Amino acid sequence: MTLDEKLRLSYYSRIAPLNAEHGVFLVQHVSSRRVFVLKELTTYDATVFNRLKETPVKGIPRIYEAIEEGDRLAVIEQYVDAEPLLAILERRGVLPEAEALCITRQLAVILDGLHSMKPAIIHRDIKPSNVLVSDDGAVTLIDLDAAKTEKTGESRDTELIGTAGYAAPEQYGFAASTPQTDIYSVGVLLSVMLTGKLPNEAEVPGAAGRIIKKCTDMVPEKRYRSAQKLLAALNGSGGAEEAPENETPEKERRFNRKYLPLGFRSLTPWKMIAAGAFYALLITMCATVDISSRGWGLWVNRGFMFAALITLVLLPSNFCGVLDLLGINKIKTVWVRVLVTILFTLFISFMLILIPSRAV
């Protein structure tokens, strides 16, 4: 921190703590007497705050100072006189669909502003406590502590940040955060506003339910491709009908990807190469394994061995929609669904090993 930066921070005197445990205070500028919010962050991406200081985004509190000292970042930002959505939900319970959609539309506009920056800024922590709603219904998205700048070519996030239930699957280290990460959280938030529950705990009927389902797809590529696309769906829904849009990529329109084995569904070159090498290794191993049988019996045993091993890969990935056909994917309780999937897969694999030993 330079002398000039220390001087600039000294102009703000603390009035009261807003959340002292997390280093959030209400401060007042000694000269202008205006009230601001001071945040002392230990987890942050300084680039995000500096970029927003230079290029403000409507619906995000204006950043006036972002000064780093050691492993801390002092942020002076606009004070927004509004109520957290969390408090509104606790007081009123679920919201009418029209009101929930209005809040979601405004969030989509805010996210469009963040995601349209080059490179995009991803919020990564959209939840009721981070959404403020004013008396006139205006929405503000706060708390950029977890926000990051999107990095092209990044395979996964280097730091796992997010709130359980609202965080997209990729935030748990499976892939890198993208604009679709925020869209996932918005879908969860819409579900909570309408039902008081997460999407896997309650089903929302109609167009709003279809929007939630698309937002919260486990595969990022299957969610809305942008906040603008989400906004178009919300504007077209009118609380009843989802906006007509052709979001499915050309390659996906040609065939249903559920008929492709694991590793080929995303059509990502490196994933297909890795999966192809794995399947080739599996085939080679089964084709050369030494089994006591001879002649045609040897190849029957090898074939069933391959079928048993490939079952362990394909069945849990819902190959050809088999888990859908059997109704396993309709089980609402996650741990029960996972347990049934594992037991069913092991049973089929065991039977494939047992059959040739009895028949040959």
Could you read off the pLDDT of 74-105 as tens digits, one per residue? 999 999 999 999 999 999 999 999 999 999 99
**CA-CA distance, 231 to 191, in Å (whole number)?**
16
**CA-CA distance, 45 to 68, in Å (whole number)?**
11
In this prediction, residue 238 carries a pLDDT of: 42
Class of domain 83-247: mainly alpha
pLDDT < 50 regions, the chain: 238-255
In this prediction, residue 270 carries a pLDDT of: 80
**CA-CA distance, 328 to 10, in Å (whole number)?**
61
Domain spans, the chain: 3-78, 83-247, 257-359
Could you read off the pLDDT of 252-284 as tens digits, one per residue? 444 455 567 778 766 678 888 888 898 898 899
In this prediction, residue 256 carries a pLDDT of: 53
Query: Starting at the edge strand that comes first in sequence, how are the strands of the sheet with 83-84 ordered?
Result: 83-84, 131-133, 139-141
In this prediction, residue 247 carries a pLDDT of: 43
**Fold agreement between 3-78 and 83-247:** no
Provide DSSP, 240-297. TSPPP---S-HHHHHS-GGGSPTTSTT--HHHHHHHHHHHHHHHHHHHH---S--THH
**CA-CA distance, 270 to 6, in Å (whole number)?**
49
Class of domain 3-78: alpha beta
In this prediction, residue 300 carries a pLDDT of: 81
**CA-CA distance, 156 to 174, in Å (whole number)?**
6
pTM higher than the cut 0.75: no
In this prediction, residue 315 carries a pLDDT of: 84
**CA-CA distance, 50 to 58, in Å (whole number)?**
16
Residue positions counted in the chain: 360
